[in-house]
Amino acid sequence: MNLLITLVLTLSIGMQTIANAADFEDSPELRYCAMQEGVTEDMLDNEPDNYKVKCFYLCELTRIHIIENGKIVDPDRKEKPVSPNVSGLAGNQKLRHCFNLKEQNECELGNKLYNCLHDELDKAYEEYLETKIFVKKMK
């Protein structure tokens, strides 16, 4: 149950907004990055390898302070406090390795980090559902 609570909180602090392209019309934040990068909802849904889509993820992850100055924020840095988004995501051990990704190209880095976080959250949610179903059958 704690895992689900962690995942729900994590999603609510940023990744859910990025992952749900259907919220374009309701989210000025998403519209800002979409306009800046020239990305449409259709591109997010159907063209994951498009360079503009990768730059959109960089824009969003920068906006929520997970990427700063073209680098993933070190969740253990001491000189400056990290945002709640970083501490929330990096606090989950299944997501921690995502914060070690390196890439010279900033848009590629944004894309890799988004995909890593998204994939790990999907796996964790699937594991939770399997556990919930198993527990229900045991009753």
Instruction: Please report, for the domain that includes residue 75, its CATH number.
Output: 1.10.238.20
| pLDDT-derived band at 133, boundaries 50, 70, 90 | low
Alpha helices in the chain (DSSP H): 2-10, 16-19, 28-37, 41-46, 51-63, 84-90, 93-96, 106-138
At residue 104, the pLDDT reads 95
Encode pLDDT of 112-122 as tens digits: 999 999 888 88
Number of structural domains (the chain) is 1
Domain enclosing residue 83, as ranges: 2-138
Question: Given the structure tokens 């992952």, which residue do they identify?
Answer: 19
Q: What six digits make up the tokens of 3?
A: 């895992």
Q: Which residues contact 14 (CB under 8 A, 6 or more apart)?
A: 60, 64, 66, 85
Encode pLDDT of 6-35 as tens digits: 443 344 344 444 544 445 667 777 888 999
Q: Which residues contact 90 (CB under 8 A, 6 or more apart)?
A: 75, 82, 96, 99
Contact 75, 86 (CB under 8 A): yes
The whole model's pTM is what? Answer: 0.76
